[in-house]
A and B are shown apart, each in its own frame.
Chain A
């Protein structure tokens, strides 16, 4: 089951690398959040505990509802153009993504021979980390950078479940809260950037240089 979900997660990464709409990114974030919530819900189904449900519910609330809606709201409020404006061609980007994922999947299965881990969630998580960074590097719009950062965070989360050790729930919740506040602050900053620079692109930020 975990493997199926991880594969779905990886497929969403392909979608994110071909779509040219900002909305597409938000939809992917919602989808990934949902997968992660189901993933943490699975062990809870096997042995029921009242505390076990807190994390999946918070995850669902933060990653599926709050953050995507907040990003949608920013897009609407700021009237951002709905295309992402890449710096390289989409097809090149897709090829890059595929090449990276092949390398990551193969090296993960090599690693798994010596270390005990779930190959598919591990590799999917790592791919998401890499692709999150690609998104930040190869896209111009700042709001898309925020989405890239969130893809990266989702990747880390999936990766964390693959590594099989459990962090205490208090800390998992702390991590979620931190990510949410970071996105919230970035949203406020974007609002100000819009009113100060009249733009949302990374090229608008060039004042601070030596």
Chain B
């Protein structure tokens, strides 16, 4: 019971507490404490030092352990910097948004943990819908027109998408007709165990509906539009949270149904769909990077790109699968640094347009450097982690004997890198004609500290490659029927 209380009940109670206590400082302290407890417990469980019992509908496996750790890690750093973020000046209308900030954040933690730990499709659906409900009001934090439109679109598109996923779940029940699973509950593990008996046609239909429906939340093209608007208009900590963890909460559902499909005859079909989805996301990012003029939108498209790459890795299997899991870890960490730096730039320049942001290196030197480093990290420059995970994904695609696919992926990534680089360097170094080049002083605050720590963690994981993470990823791969030497 201890595990369940700390991981799900405690955040829920804290949310309630934040509703009752109006003092922001108190709300902040208790939220950080709960986030820390969550992270500690998840970490201990991940290391395998402690085994926790969960009630019906919830259980731990290697995949949920890994993704829960990523979620918990992202959440803790985001909540840690939230106070600094809330102190920034906003319009008087937006003051009201602060009241519910920590309440919703705790609700977000509870619902996401529940979604990642659920081992029943029904429970998974309910909790994923709750994550949408928790994050939608946070998108509307600034209380302006763009934020309102983004919130409406996100809420609507994702709700319809998740309704589609529900149809997919019902199809899955149909596929169990006439097998030993008929009339049984929709537990993942039961379906995985008897996957071969399932009716292939309904199983395929189920996969398509669940994948397309959840794509609205993962941000897989062509269903990515609501997600892009939401990520680019939400306040930076929330955008980091969405890019780093919320997308994975939806991805885990797709991975569950894929896990069921792997031993069946529909495997090739599902795999092709995933590859198409991944490739289409890379293509979308590739096209829009040419014309994007809003730097937060650029980062949102970068998320589409990386989730596409992860999907591609999962579909490819083999070493690429391992790469995809590493990629999920590295992408989540890098995205926090990117969005937090973007938030600093936004609060200084008061605009998200690339053209109006100039000379960041001199005006905000610390943020500028961190932004630059995070850009190098996200583009896959060594020694940052994404370099290693991308190499693994490429290697997997290469052994797939499909050189054309690899060529396309490489070309898309190359142009995304060039276009993103252009935008980054314009923002960082471009000056007005007669502008002074003296470096201004920028105070050192917790956002910089967190960013530096995260970059260090990123390099440390990549360089030392801890055995515990590798073993866990191997276990996940084993669950997906992939054996590596």
CB within 8 Å of B: which residues of A?
115-117, 129, 133, 136, 142, 145, 149, 152-153, 156, 159-160, 163-165, 167-168, 171, 174-175, 178, 181-182, 185-186, 189, 192-193, 196-197, 205, 207-208, 210
Contact = CB atoms under 8 A, between A and B. Distances in A.
Q: Is the interface of A mostly helix, strand, loop or mixed?
A: helix
A156 B199 contact: no
A145 B156 contact: yes
Contacts of A129: 167
A141 B173 CA distance: 36
B202 interface: yes
Contacts of B153: 205, 208
Which 10 A-B pairs give the minimum distances between C-beta atoms? A174-B126, A171-B122, A178-B129, A165-B173, A208-B229, A167-B122, A205-B149, A189-B152, A163-B170, A182-B159
Given A149-B156, A193-B148, A210-B288, A115 B129 contact: no
Given A115-B174, A207-B149, 20 more contacts: A116-B178, A117-B174, A117-B177, A149-B159, A156-B167, A159-B167, A163-B173, A167-B122, A171-B122, A171-B126, A174-B126, A175-B125, A175-B166, A178-B133, A182-B129, A189-B140, A189-B151, A197-B145, A207-B145, A210-B292
Contact of A185 (B136, B177, B202): B136
Given A193-B152, A210-B292, A210-B297, A182 B133 contact: yes
B92 to A, nearest CB: 15
A44 to B, nearest CB: 18
B271 to A, nearest CB: 25
Interface string B149-182: 1111101100110010011001001101110001
A152 B130 contact: no
17 contacts: A136-B160, A149-B159, A149-B160, A156-B167, A156-B170, A160-B170, A167-B186, A171-B120, A171-B122, A171-B123, A182-B132, A189-B148, A189-B155, A207-B149, A208-B229, A208-B233, A210-B292
A89 to B, nearest CB: 25
B190 interface: no
B152 A159 contact: no
B146 A181 contact: no
A197 B291 CA distance: 27
B183 interface: yes
Interface in B47-75: none
Q: In this complex, which of B153, B163, B291 has the most chain A Cβ atoms within 10 angstroms of its Cβ?
A: B163
A145 B160 CA distance: 11
B12 to A, nearest CB: 14
A185 B151 CA distance: 10
Nearest to B183: A165
B174 A152 contact: no
A186 B156 CA distance: 8
A205 B297 contact: no
A171 to B, nearest CB: 4
B40 interface: no
Contacts of A136: 160
A197 B148 CA distance: 10
A178 to B, nearest CB: 4
Contacts of A145: 156
Given A182-B155, A210-B291, A156 B166 contact: yes
Nearest to B233: A208
Contacts of B145: 196-197, 207
Given A136-B160, A182-B133, A115 B177 contact: yes
B155 A185 contact: yes
A149 B130 CA distance: 17
B336 to A, nearest CB: 24
B202 A115 contact: yes
B137 interface: yes
B185 interface: yes
Nearest to B125: A175
B183 to A, nearest CB: 6
A205 B170 contact: no
A175 B150 CA distance: 24
A93 to B, nearest CB: 19
A149 B233 CA distance: 24
A30 B182 CA distance: 33
A181 B291 CA distance: 37
Contacts of B130: 178
Given A163-B174, A207-B145, A210-B297, A168 B122 contact: yes
A197 B149 CA distance: 10
Contacts of B202: 115
Nearest to B225: A208
Contacts of B159: 149, 182
Q: Please indicate which of the listed interface residues A153, A156, A164, A189 has the most CB atoms of chain B within 10 Å of its own CB.
A: A189
B133 to A, nearest CB: 5
Contact of A208 (B129, B149, B174, B185): B149
Contacts of A196: 145, 148
B148 A115 contact: no
A70 to B, nearest CB: 16
Contacts of A208: 146, 149-150, 153, 229, 232-233
